[in-house]
A and B are shown apart, each in its own frame.
Chain A
Amino acid sequence: MEILSLLSTGLLEALQPVNLLLIIIGVTLGLFIGMMPGLGSVNGVAILLPITFLVPPASAIIFLAAIYYGAMYGGAISSITLGIPGASTAVATTFDGRPLALQGKASLALVTAAVASFTGGTVSIVLFTIFAPPLASVALSFGSPEIFALMLLAFATFVGLGGDDIPKTVLSICLGLVFAAVGFDEISGAPRLVFFDMTGFMRGINFLVLAIGVYGIGEMLWTIDSTRGKITQTEAKISAKGVLRDARTSLKLGAKGMSIGSLLGFFVGILPAAGATPGSLMAYGVAKLSSRDPESYGKGNPDGVAAPESANNSASTGSMLPMLTLGIPGSPTTAILLGGMVIWGLTPGPRLFSDQPAFVWGLIGSFYVSNFFALVINLCFIPLFIWMLRMPFTILAPMIFVLSVVGGYAATLSMHDVWLMLIFGLGAFFLRKFDYPLAPAVLAIVLGPIAEPTLRQSLLLSSGDPSIFFTRPIAGPITVIAIILILLPLFKKLRDRFATAPAKGT
């Protein structure tokens, strides 16, 4: 009951005219920032942070959180309409969002993304409201072995899928892991895999550069190749009725993806070091794995849009939790928000909830309000995005190219990354020609930098004994499930062989 009264004061705070206005502006800005490839919530929040000194701290964080939220919705839009991930958190959305758009179901994909984002947001806020303080201790109980086990599970969901060619999936993961290892070794501090001694590689390979290369440039080449330069036009109709119908369809077809994404995303989000990008990729993997028809993923399954989109919104709320209660940011964007809180004179940490209830509950209240407005504003803009898709591909292709180059440059402001992105694009095109799945490589470059140090920390803890992953109460079960998932295809193969062998004998 105490929570309810605190929450209602928080909601009242969020609904004050100034805050409400800030939420609407923030969500709209975030939507467009998220849409621009190369600009994600991190950039948006960083750029707009100074503006927040004009308003009281509670309004300031409400504004920044609204941008964060809006960007989570916005990232999906360019992923679906152009096939370029608008933000790193929306990479998984391109897997099925783009195929849907190419089939003329862009509106369904966009509406699904919006509805899923809303669902993910709402579920996570409710979880946040009820469980915030106890969940902080869950985050604390995750040490290196637990986080590594979780990463193993994420990889396993991608390997253990029936649909794709397993050796090719493994190869794709390895390729991603190699790219993830470029740069400085976190543990010894030594530079490694610095190709051609170029200082650009010392910084490591930016994940967004790979993602834009693979999905922006690679996808464009693929479309040109598959249509042989024929002018193609994506059929897309706009009507308010259509949007409503799509909303119903998306709820029906994407329900499972949404529930998986909402829960998994929140959980991954509250772990420091993870964040929304791994959360959305893992949700995609789990949704595909648990699907009765994994083959349809990657070819335009609404669940494949719903899962990552609900997960990234859910994770963005979740990652506020370690920031507020432990003072440890769960994602790059919350790291900047944390800086903001210090500026406003608030000390995040175990005592924030008891010392600053007005601030904390105002923020939580604003999550509810921003989430609602993000949905409404997003749905209003959908016709505009669809209209964009009606352009002939001859116009769209150069646009995709320019946006990809700008996005690649904006991420780090270096030409090195633009060349790298073009090379990745070409490479992705040829790998796709030879039927290599690319999503696992993208997953590996996101999770590699989390998995590697935690693996090494764990092995240091145990003096090199791998049994540490099995004997700890939380890590143990996760590791076992991951290994079963990895071996699943092998079992299936064996079973098939035993099933067919007697048949041959008779």
Chain B
Amino acid sequence: MATTTKLLSRIVGAAALGFMALTGTVQAQSWQPTKPIDFVIMAGPGGGADQIARFLQSVAEKKKLTSRPLVPNNKGGGSGAEALIALNTASDPNHTILVTLNSFFTTPLRQPNLGIDVMKFTPIAMMGVDPFVLWVHKDSGIKTFEEWLEKVKSTDDYVMGGTGKGQEDSIVIAFLQKAFGIKVKYIPYKGGGAVAKDLAGKQIMATVNNPAETKGFYASGDVVPLLVFSDERMPAFPDVPTVKEKGKDFSYYNQRAVVGAPGQSPEAAAYYQNLFKTIYNTEEWQNYMKTESLSPLWMTPEQQKDYWKVQIERHKELLADMAK
């Protein structure tokens, strides 16, 4: 039934186009959204992905870049599986886009039964990559990474929190455990916001979080950064060493990318690619990247697809390492 209706509407559309071509009124009318755009966020409220999505929406609103609003829709359940399913089964792929993080790669790998092939998704924009930082509460008295290692080694009850097994922070924590021979207890939460709050409330002892998520508590002096997982020292924390300085060749970033639902029409995809390119080039976004310590990594849609391939392979290895 649905397919016949779709087919019918296509035929009607084609006929209308043909008619317009005949009458010579056809213009280079580009695709425009006809209803509010479902702006799915692959994380719960308050986390890094959520903050970015809301910021992107705000820029689009402020500059009136879309004729229909972007409506943020948090779907953080199941390490982002909820969001991926929502995109995969979207009833209107042309009005459904997703703000992703790396669970875009890991969740389909960890749960093949979901039947999600991310290579079928539509590349739209790579807005930047977000580095990770190791944090502890100031009351722990720990000032350096070495002190932290000592502390973790001295107890078998060292509790860290994160956004779930197989999520970005757990990959970094798994790396730390393996590379430095430590063991921690890992508690999963629904989003980076909840993790940051429980670190500030001393419910957990340390976290690996994106700077944006912990910024407020860093500014108030409640939490202390010990180590960054970027390739070079971060401008926001010039005194904090990188993991490379500690002799381990490792860096890990969270992708902040926008993708479209599978089956999105090329016209719609071109519309969103343009939209997010415009947003990317605004002063607001460029400033945001600076204040929130994001690194720029702009890519064309083709480059994005290649990047996805590379990331899927890398995460296969990282996850396999974790399982060992």
Contact = CB atoms under 8 A, between A and B. Distances in A.
Given A184-B77, A186-B78, A272-B194, A327 B46 contact: yes
B215 A347 contact: yes
A50 interface: yes
Contact of B216 (A140, A142, A273, A327): A327
A205 B29 CA distance: 41
B85 A199 contact: yes
Nearest to B193: A328
Interface string B109-143: 01100100000000000000000000000000000
Nearest to B77: A184
A503 interface: no
Given A50-B61, A329-B45, A140 B220 contact: no
Contacts of B80: 189
B110 A463 contact: no
A300 B189 CA distance: 41
Interface stretch (A3-11, A234-242, A348-356): A348-356
Given A272-B197, A335-B45, A453-B190, A189 B110 contact: yes
Contacts of A189: 78-81, 107, 110-111, 164-166
A204 interface: yes
Given A184-B78, A190-B111, A338 B45 contact: yes
Size category of the binding interface on chain B: 35 or more
Nearest to A414: B91
Nearest to A335: B45
B188 A187 contact: yes
Contacts of B189: 453, 457
A329 B46 contact: yes
Contact of B62 (A143, A332, A343): A343
Contact of B190 (A186, A203, A348): A186
B51 to A, nearest CB: 6
A457 B159 CA distance: 11
Interface residues of A, number: 47
Contacts of B165: 187-189
Nearest to A138: B201
A342 B55 contact: yes
A140 B194 contact: no
Contact of A350 (B79, B114, B216): B216
Interface string A312-330: 0000000000100011110
B68 to A, nearest CB: 11
Nearest to B219: A351
Contacts of B86: 203
Interface in B177-196: 185-190, 193-194, 196
Contact of A144 (B69, B72, B74, B203): B203
A131 interface: no
Given A335-B74, A339-B57, A326 B215 contact: no
B222 interface: yes
B316 to A, nearest CB: 17
B89 interface: yes
Contacts of A50: 61, 69
A139 B133 CA distance: 25
B231 interface: no
B82 A203 contact: yes
A184 B82 CA distance: 7
A338 B46 contact: yes
B185 A463 contact: yes
A338 B194 CA distance: 14
A9 to B, nearest CB: 24
A351 B200 CA distance: 14
A461 B69 contact: no
A191 B78 contact: yes
B19 to A, nearest CB: 33
A46 B74 CA distance: 13
Given A342-B54, A343-B54, A343-B61, A350 B185 contact: no
Contact of B185 (A183, A188, A342, A461): A461
A84 B310 CA distance: 52
B77 A140 contact: no
Interface in A96-149: 139-144
A49 B69 CA distance: 10
A93 to B, nearest CB: 26
Contacts of B190: 186, 453
A343 B58 contact: yes
A144 B161 CA distance: 12
B285 interface: no
Interface string A50-86: 1001000000000000000000000000000000000
Contacts of A143: 198, 201, 203
Contacts of A164: none
A272 B190 CA distance: 12
A350 B217 contact: yes
Interface string A341-381: 01100011111000000000000000000000000000000
Name which of B78, B188, B190, B193 has the most chain A CB atoms within 10 A of its CB: B78
B11 to A, nearest CB: 25
A61 to B, nearest CB: 14
Nearest to A188: B165
A327 B218 CA distance: 13
A190 B78 contact: yes
B71 interface: yes
Contact of A202 (B55, B74, B82, B159): B82
A186 B164 CA distance: 8
A198 B198 CA distance: 36
Contacts of A273: 194
Contacts of B55: 342-343
Contacts of A332: 45
Interface string A195-211: 00001001110000000
Nearest to A354: B220
Per CB-CB distance, the 5 closest pairs between chain A and chain B, nearest first, are: A349-B216, A184-B78, A140-B201, A343-B58, A143-B203
Given A327-B193, A349-B217, 17 more contacts: A140-B200, A142-B201, A143-B203, A183-B78, A189-B111, A189-B164, A190-B111, A191-B114, A202-B82, A202-B85, A203-B86, A326-B216, A342-B51, A343-B62, A351-B219, A453-B189, A453-B190
22 contacts: A46-B71, A46-B72, A53-B61, A140-B201, A144-B203, A183-B77, A189-B78, A189-B79, A189-B166, A202-B85, A204-B77, A326-B200, A332-B45, A335-B45, A335-B46, A343-B54, A343-B62, A349-B216, A350-B200, A350-B220, A457-B189, A461-B159
Interface of A: 46, 49-50, 53, 139-144, 183-191, 199, 202-204, 272-273, 322, 326-329, 332, 335-336, 338-339, 342-343, 347-351, 453, 457, 460-461, 463
